Structure 1
Amino acid sequence: AFIRRLCRFAGIFWFIRAGKRDGADSDTPVHTLVFCDNPMLLPQAPAGTVPYHHGAAVKDSDSITLLAAARSLVPGGVRRASSDYKTGKMDVAEFDTIIDQGEAGNDLAALLTDWVIDPPHAGDSRDDYTGLAKARILAHEHRAECMHGASDVRNLPPGTWFTPSGHREIDNRKPEDRQHIVVNLRHRAVNNFPKALGEQAQTLFAASRWQFDPLPLGEDGQSRYENTFVCVRRGVPLTPAFDPRIDFPPVEPFSAWVVAGQGESVHCDEYGRIKVQIPGLHPDDHAHAQGTGTSGTARDSAWVRLLSPWAGPNHGLDMLPRAGMEVLIGHLGGDPDKMIVLGTVHGGPNRPATFSGVGSLPGNKHVTGIKTQEIDGTGFGQLRFDDTSGKVSSQLASTHAGTELNLGYLTHPRTNGHAKDRGEGAELATRAAAVVRALQGLMLTTFAFDAGHQLDRDHLNKLLAEGLELFKALGDYAGQHGGTAADTAAQDQLASILKNWAPSGANGGAANDAQAILAFGAAAGSINLTPKTHVTYAGQNIDQVAQQHLQLTSGQRFNAFAGQGMHLFARGQGIQAIANEGPLVLQAQADALMATAQKGIKLAANDQVVITGKTLRFVAEDGSSITIGDGGITLHTNGAFKALAGAHDWGGPAADSAPHADFGKAPTDQRFRAHYAGDTEAPIAYAANQPHDIRLPDGSRIKGKSDGGGLTDTLKDNAMRIARINMFMPTL
């Protein structure tokens, strides 16, 4: 895959050549991988000139039996663009095709351009990038025209050229235009087994479900050989196509270590690029390069760009990783050769920061911020925030000259979450902080403390237990009455984790024994609003429970998708599915559609009712039945058969009736009520007698003026739509 990617990227054609090893006396066959960038250097096939005998019953020699031209419309040009971070400009390369696709084809091809934005610095230089773009247009020219053929010629290997003869169209060409290069070859052959043994082999093929199309036998009963091939005119470029979406292998982020020169902690160039070492490489594999790649020095990689949240001309946010730090490596444009540092991560010796030089996590987990480290020294600078409940403070400090700026609730540096108070207000003296991380879980709640414990969560445990009880009760009932029981395992596990949740070391617990869960509780209700898209995702289950009503509303479509079945169960009052407008469609695309009722089933419509199927079978409880289909109508009964109608003498007239279905349709009339913005508890000030403009998605507009209560004109429509209103400023 690596060689194939490089060849496609560079525009190098390759093929496998079978035969003896070059310069060897052994008859042992070998396969040779051949690379080629000039099709004119390929040798002539051993077959040389091959006759074309289409449909000939008797032939004197191996020949081509089928030869058909195939053409594809290809873009009239290519355009490639790649940014160069060194110059800050885009390298652009453009080429137009030189092939003739006919008058109409050329006109259409002129409208088609293969336009791709490549990963940054795709070429080593401007000339190299131009060569890559040239390879892309040559690949299009290669697939513009080819010949598909079939033959029984045994010495027509790929990567060689031959001359067909006896073909009316090809024979009229110039001699150099008759030569074709084989670019694809598929063999079909059968051993010359006896007939009985061959039949047994065919039986085995059928039993193994192998797709095998046996070759027809010749008139002499012998097995035949044939092949199919693809060829192009000699001189047509053989450049392979390159598509980064296909030819780039999937690449995922991986960890690496920052390396530097001897005696350096920070190693970079003028662009802020760094050097990294990829862990896990075997030194023996790099011995030929004097250990480059595994030496732990700046020789281990090329320069790697570093992702920054802000990078401008001589300004930005630059924090260069230091030697020994672990970084996460990504790839620009999915190109495995274009690595970029996505960021750094803690781990191993790179422990989280200790602010003010004392304490550690998880004891000081409420202290957050940024702390630097002096090169070849013990000093540091820090931006520290202490979010301890009721003792919030912030600090900006440098150990140089003990400069500090303290804001908020002032304390001595905290140790294991505890600190002595020093006062409140502002003080010019502050220390650095670490990134906020809740390694043992996070709880957000609006419930008051009962016992004052940090993780007091009795209300959450109670609510979760109530919801789980209802979830299990209805789920079990559904499973016992034809539905599908609820999967409660994940919710049970989460309830147990919440109940036994404790930080590391608390209540005698072992370190890292607490689960990193997020518990959310709201005493008076919760609101989650956004004017944009809201996404909820769970790697396992999403369980939503309501003691009263679970209500879902959508102004437009409501889509529900399930990969492994969808189950609805109502304990009481039934299930209603109503389409106020448009059809109601029920489909079982791969199985049966079943409707079962304890009582009756009623179908009613104000128009025609059509029931169709391969056969229609109506069966009564006493065994009487009517079958429609399979060539006729069949009636079965063990009792009397009665046919009642006014047109024959079997009996008197009879008829039946059903109530007429009447569907109500509520109007969509709506009105806006406008009011002035305000945050006081006084009565709302409605925007009375103010002009407005209501716009609908179809472009229609309704202009008017609000009444004394701020109500706009009534918006009437046959269907529910999204309406937008603009209120105008009052005239002064």
Structure 2
Amino acid sequence: MLPTGMGSQTARVVGFDGADDAGNNTAAGSDASGSTPALLGNDEICCDALGRVRIRFQWQDALDQTGSRASCWVRVAQRSAGGGMGSQFLPRIGQEVQVQFMEGDINRPVIVGALYFGQGEAGVPATPAGSLVDADTSALSQATDHSVSAQSNLTAGYAPAWHGAGVGADAHNNAAAQFGIRSQEYSGSGYNQLVFDDSDGAGRIQLKTTQSGTELNLGHLLHTADNYRGSFRGNGIELRTDAWGALRAGSGWLVSSYGVSHSASQRQTAGDVPAGYGLLNTANTLGATLSQLADSHLSVGIAALKGSSKANASYLNEQAAPIPALGKVLQGMVDSSEVDAAYGDAAAQNTQADDQHLPHHTDPVISVIAKNDLSMTARQDVQFNTGETLNVLNAADSQFTTGGVFRVHSGQAIGLTAGGLKQNTTAGMQLIAAQGDTTIQAHNDMISLKAKNNLDMKSAQASIDFAAATNITLRTAGGASIKIAGGNITVQCPGKILVQAGQKGFTGGTSLSREMNTWPSVKCDEEFVLKLPSGKLAANRKFEITRADGTKIKGVSDAQGKTGLQKGLVIEQLAIKILPKNA
């Protein structure tokens, strides 16, 4: 008759030699069953390839025939088991487990569960039968948002990570509403855990690892310290880590502050994007109006609405410019009845809307949609890099403010158009430098200044200078003109010339180049030092300078060979000749 084991018994998980101290186990090679044992995590787990462990029953003290107090390899029951699937929780050395016997055969033990044992801090101590004693709960009140308390054992054993202490901060604010799964780092204090909290009106889930402080918190957010439920931190979702993070979605990503119905009786689609499309469509309409306005005023249109590298084309859609192409992406619809049909609609970029279809991006784009404000702040740099167009469309005002230098560089054209939508406005376009110069230059082409009404140029404290390499012409629609070209000034008019002055004087001919040398201040000036071919200074020698307009200016150098300043409005080429002494 086989020995029987009725009911269930408790036992300790042990190592090879039967010791329940993880630090005192030594591998002994293959046993009689042929299993090759393994020691893991500084001998904290002793198991074979089948996930079996050894145990020692509470009544098992004497050494067996092999000189060990350990049992045979014992199977561990799991909640699910299958080929390449299931759950796996192996009890570690020193843990107490519950054992049952297959068909009552004591030689066929199976571990069916694990048990906490010992007396935890603030727990009720063991007393003789019939005696009453209160637990010492003073340790519970020592917990804070960032420090634990009452999680150790007053006697040997293991206490649970979560236990019902009571209501109030002095009782961990925990009425036994927390439960979950926690693992333990081998030979360390780190852990991984999944916590469910069913506290009244404060439900939450936490998925956490102490590795780099990485965790996902859902629902009621609060500070926790093991069993202690601390102060309120917020409500919603928090994904955090002390290391780096990445979010990847191969088919697109939607980030939206527009709420959708998500109750037990009604739930809207997860990919709901009509609000985003509505905002984009409004911006599209405004942009199209302003682009047409720019075209009508001979300015630069909006490439995102007309096409950048090719008309009415974009990288996203060969048949539409960037913004219309993005609008089509947000109009995507897929079948809501069958998955295969939905994938087909997505591949075909379907935009047909009806009761049998739900919103879906037609291309893998990232949409960030804010119902109210959207804020993005960086302590250092913010960079926007695109392969095609960068568009900022706003139905109201836009401001660009910088405390340093504001630079705009373009590989092609820069177009600025203002006042097209609001008539009779006094704002127009303003370009003001509170300090320093304002410089407008065209290095390879012309500058054109045009106005429907007056063109007003004033200098409050200095002068207005006009200079040209060939000629300057002032002309009116009536036919009168003044032309300054070379060394000549030509005055023409179909009517009369009226000269009004207190004194009139006509002297000999001169030139602008010669007269500029008498001006107190000009943009360009240069002094030259004359030297002979031998390198010796040409002191007190006659010279002749030929300016760019042909004016010849003669003079005598000083004792250092200097010619004196030559002044001009622009940089020009000139020639200097040292004259013979008898010239």
TM-score normalised per structure 1: 0.30
Structure having the higher helix fraction is 1
Task: Flag the structure with larger Rg.
Answer: 2
